Chains A and B, each alone.
Chain A
Amino acid sequence: QVQLQESGPRLVKPSETLSLTCAVSGDSVSSDHWWSWVRQVPGQGLEWIGEISHSGSTNYNPSLKSRVTISTDSSIIQFSLHLTSVTAADTAVYFCARERTRSGTTFFDYWGQGTLVTVSS
């Protein structure tokens, strides 16, 4: 059973960098999947942040591209999100998720439980 778990600081100061890690078990970041970060402002919709492949290729949401970096570490059992120059608008629940492609469409079949990150001084 694939499981994902987000971790990182729950409180970040404005203008600083938000950093989260997603630990993967039951699968490997080096498997033939892409891995994503998605966020949700409480009570609102879902916003895709970006993705990373097993080989380290990345794609980002153009609306966040200038501030986002997604990476994997050498252990290939986790991947990370870094979002720079945060403001209160970045306060959200951050989810990591595994992607899968079938019948031509790509969907998110496994999700972490999500972690609320608050941007405040």
Chain B
Amino acid sequence: DIEMTQSPSSLSAYVGDRVTITCRASQTIGSYLNWYQQLPGKAPKLLIYAASTLQSGVPLRFSGGGSGTDFTLTISSLQPEDFATYFCQQSYSIPPYTFGQGTKLEIK
């Protein structure tokens, strides 16, 4: 299985801050990397697919980058509704699809 490792596991930031979350794959996965946001008690919501393509309806302050083994999710200016847990997911080598362990973004 391809192991996905996110860093940091948790992050505190202020509204208006720019934050970056990193996801590293245990082997190269090209651009087969997707990002999700999960609010407490809710299902994950797709933000970005293919490493950098914004899902329809997702605010432009979200962006993704990277390829190979190292990927980033950046929020350019944090809004109150962005405080959530974020997960990356690879689809390069399946089964199984695998997810990162999550990054919890908390308000400072």
A interface, CB within 8 angstroms of B: 36, 44-48, 50-51, 59-63, 95, 97, 101-109, 111-114
Partner of A62, one of B36, B55, B95: B95
**Range class of the B interface residue count:** 20 to 34
Question: How many angstroms from the CA of A106 to the CA of B95 in the assembled complex?
Answer: 12
Is B43 a contact partner of A114 (Cβ separation < 8 A)? Answer: yes
Find out whether the CB atom of A107 lies under 8 angstroms from the CB atom of B34: yes
Does A47 lie within 8 Å of B99, measured CB to CB? yes
B50 near A: Cβ within 8 Å?
Answer: yes
**Contact B87–A102 (Cβ < 8 Å):** no
CA distance A97 to B97 in the complex (A): 13
Q: A-facing mask of B65-99, CB < 8 A → 1, else 0?
A: 00000000000000000000001010110111111
Bound CA span A97–B45, Å: 11
CA distance A93 to B96 in the complex (A): 18
- Tell whether, in the assembled complex, residue B91 and residue A106 are in contact, meaning their CB atoms are under 8 Å apart: yes
Query: In the assembled complex, how far is the CB of residue B66 from the closest CB belonging to chain A, in whole angstroms?
Result: 13
Of the residues A44, A61, A105, contact of B31 by C-beta under 8 Å: A105
Cβ distance A15 to chain B, nearest Cβ, rounded Å: 25
Interface centre among A61, A101, A107 (most CB of B within 10 A): A107
- Are A48 and B43 closer than 8 Å at their CB atoms? no
- Nearest to A106 among chain B residues (CB) is B91
Residue interface mask B31-67, A partner, CB < 8 A = 1: 1111010000011111001110101000000000000
Q: Which has the most chain A C-beta neighbours within 10 Å: B31, B36, B46, B49?
A: B49
Q: For A60, what are the chain B residues with a Cβ–Cβ distance below 8 Å?
A: 95-96
Given the interface pairs A103-B53, A104-B31, A109-B55, the reply to whether A45 lies near B97 with Cβ below 8 Å is: no
Q: Knowing A46-B87, A113-B42, A114-B43, say if A105 contacts B50 (CB, 8 Å).
A: yes
Q: Which residues in B have their C-beta under 8 angstroms from that of A95?
A: 43-44
Given contacts A44-B102, A102-B53, 18 further A-B contacts (CB under 8 A): A45-B99, A45-B102, A46-B89, A46-B102, A48-B98, A59-B95, A60-B95, A62-B1, A62-B95, A63-B96, A95-B43, A97-B43, A103-B31, A103-B53, A105-B34, A105-B92, A106-B32, A108-B34
